[in-house]
Amino acid sequence: MLRSHFVTMLFINLLIKRSSENSPVFTLSVEFQTGSGITALFGPSGAGKSTILQAIAGLLHPEKGCIVVSAETFFDSEKKIDLSLQKRRVGYVFQDLALFSHLSVEANVIYGLNRLNRHERRSKALEILERFGLESFIRRKPHELSGGQQQRVALARAVVIEPRILLLDEPLSALDAATKRDLIEDLKKITRDLQIPILYVTHNRDEVLALSSKVIVLDHGKIVAQGEPLSVLENLGAPTLARLSGAENLFEGVIIEKRPERGTMTFQTHQCQLEIPFAGYNVENKVRLAIRAGDILLSLAEPVGLSARNRLHGRVTQLTPQGYDLLVQTECNGMLFTALITREAQQELKLKLGQEVWLVFKTHACYIVESEP
């Protein structure tokens, strides 16, 4: 069985500044503490959620501050303490899982157990794989597994080292609803068994409510709210919650046409018309529309043969690195849109400031939020 840790406090006080070409300096300034169980870090892309995880893991070095986990100081700028990644013993599930494609499931889990002898490594790996229902897949490679199975392997690898703290960076974002429900139950069991601090990055309101005992809301590198999840999220208000949920694009406009036979309506703002899902609003109703940055695709040429109804021509006005991704701001007919793409996509598109691009997104990528009172 996995050992329980009885000293479970996490204390963080950080100042981190990051800069890159074509983007302003991003400053993260946060202070919080939490105990065992899941604490959700909630907010939009670029808020600083993943940056906090990277600092705890030792993947980046803050300008100043301190990080204390279970009475062990990971980082203290005044005392000049900065433990190596290996000495921190942090369990980390990355957004892209980072499984070793050439290794079997068993070998992936064993990878972090070098301090044990061969028999102990294998015994411990088999124990955790059974716990996650993966014992029949130990010889398979990651590409032979479903998305949910890959996620369980990543969790097993993070937990098997008996970490002082577990860091989860949007672990459920790419999964279907049924698999997501199953993994939520797995995470609840992990929380009960480990009794260590778990930081869970998400911009999904439902995941916050289903999993966390505490939520910390981040925006532009600062904490804007924290506390009991339901109370905090209810107090944010619908438009603010939509933006913090990852809907980086918010537009005021009016419904100008309804087409119930197609299940759509036409939304107009500035010189731009968008096709959005049919809902109980009337023509001439003023509404606020939200679109997640991750739901917008970019193309250098006008797309053809796609089912997506919304296609806009624009020009790149800002490029902002965000972890392994890139936020791309584009001006289209006087409106500013933000898209989220991978660094690989950036290299393929060879994006630069002033470049002309096409924005593509489906009708159901758009949703209406209530106006603030």
CATH number for position 309 = 2.40.50.100
Q: What average pLDDT does this structure show over 119-126?
A: 90
41 assigned to some structural domain: yes
Task: Please indicate, yes or no, whether residues 203 and 292 belong to a single structural domain of this protein.
Answer: no
Query: Which of residues 313 and 22 earns the better pLDDT score?
Result: 313
**Whole domain around residue 321: which residue ranges?**
249-369
pLDDT at 24: 67
Of 210, 244, 278, the residue at which a domain comes to its end is 244
**Does 363 score more than 60 pLDDT?**
yes
Residues 88-97: tens digit of each pLDDT: 999 999 877 7
Query: Which of residues 370 and 295 earns the better pLDDT score?
Result: 295
Of 244, 279, 299, the residue at which a domain comes to its end is 244
Of 244, 261, 285, the residue at which a domain comes to its end is 244
pLDDT at 201: 93
Task: Please indicate, yes or no, whether residues 197 and 343 belong to a single structural domain of this protein.
Answer: no
Q: How confident is the model at residue 327 (pLDDT cuts 50, 70, 90)?
A: confident
Domain count, the chain: 2
Beta bridge pairs of residue 336: 331
Task: Please indicate, yes or no, whether residues 208 and 342 belong to a single structural domain of this protein.
Answer: no
Mean pLDDT, all residues of the chain = 86
Beta strand 90-93 pairing with 165-169: parallel
**Does 21 score more than 60 pLDDT?**
no
Task: Please indicate, yes or no, whether residues 265 and 356 belong to a single structural domain of this protein.
Answer: yes
pLDDT at 246: 66
Q: What average pLDDT does this structure show over 257-272?
A: 89
pLDDT at 305: 72
Task: Assess contact for 41 and 221: CB atoms under 8 A.
Answer: no
What residues contact 86, with CB distance under 8 A and at least 6 apart?
none
* Residue 73: C-alpha distances to residues 10, 16, 68, 79, 348 (Å): 10, 18, 4, 10, 42
pLDDT at 78: 95
Task: Please indicate, yes or no, whether residues 239 and 284 belong to a single structural domain of this protein.
Answer: no
